[in-house]
Amino acid sequence: MGKGKGSSLMSRAASGSPASDYLIPGENIKWQGKPSAIIIMGKGLLLTAFALVYLVLMEFFHNSNDDLLILAIAALACLLMIVTDRKRFGLIGGLAGLALLTWTVLIDDSLAWYLYLIPLVFALLLLIINYIYLSRVLFVVTDQRIITRYGIFTLRYADTGIDKVQSVTTIQPWYERLFGYGDVFFATAGEKGGIDYESPGIKLMSGGAVSWENVGRPFEVTKIASAVIHTDATPVMVMNQPEGKMSPAEKLDKIEDLRKRGIITQEEYEKERKEALEEL
């Protein structure tokens, strides 16, 4: 039966289903979201804007008296495409635009108008891919797990039990703070435990961490996740342990572990340690 449930869960993960379809019996969603849309879609939107500027300028190049100015602005638009996306579509689209521009200048003849659409085609392709990607990425915090899903044609899915998460960290540089997004990292107890959704495949980090990048309102996410982790850790299980079930030495080890994981405060640690020492 366990195998059947696992297969069913993985098939739902591969279909890009909503967060509720990943839940196991008795599990509740505490927070769910995606990366900031402006960050994921922004690059494609910029490329599209630059490509449109290039298209308009090259179309009316021979009908203007300011040929040099038009060529300079069109070349600048291509260079901005390359700078915006130096690895993929912006690079190809920008270089194609510069090649068409150079041909037009050297041959002194206007090319067919649809050839000037090439930079725009690459820009729109990136925009479409980013839109599909954004629709499939999913970040979820439940009362039992941290769930991460990403991908375009092949979906990647991973979940980490709340009991394996040791701490939650938020990183938000000043430029990310201006737009209200940041990165959230879940440090895990295992040697391998996370995926980086921007990598081409699953990235198992040697330190054990799940990274969510470009999350909107990251401190709110951190607060919710921390509340779940600390609630589910229930240090009361140690503090209210019935007499005779745990030796003083075992209790000392346990509260030391809870202190290191940040589950109990220093004051609670000192109190429990003092009581355990008195029992020795």
Task: Flag the least confident range among 98-102, 229-233, 249-253.
Answer: 229-233
pLDDT > 70 in the chain, percent:
76
Residue 136 has pLDDT above 90, yes or no: no
**Percentage of residues in the chain having pLDDT higher than 90:** 18
φ, ψ for residue 199 (rounded to 5)?
A: -75, 155
> Average pLDDT over the chain, rounded to whole?
77
Over the stretch 28-87, which tens digit does the pLDDT of each residue have?
A: 888 988 888 888 899 999 999 999 999 988 877 666 556 788 888 999 999 999 999 988
d(CA 20, CA 140): 10
Calculate the alpha carbon distances from 159 to 78, 162, 164 in Å.
Answer: 42, 9, 11
Fold (CATH) for 2-35+138-232: PH-domain like (2.30.29)
Residue 5 has pLDDT above 60, yes or no: no
Mean pLDDT of 265-277: 77
What residue ranges do the domains of the chain occupy? 2-35+138-232, 39-131, 234-279
What pLDDT, on a 0 to 100 scale, did the predictor assign at position 226?
A: 87
| pLDDT for residue 182 is more than 80 | yes
- Inform me whether the pLDDT recorded for 234 exceeds 70: no
Q: What's the mean pLDDT in 153-159?
A: 80
Tokens of 114: 């649809």
The stretch 213-238 carries a mean pLDDT of: 74
Reported as a single tens digit per residue, the pLDDT across 112-121 is 878 889 999 9
Give the pLDDT of residue 280: 67
The per-residue pLDDT for 62 is 60
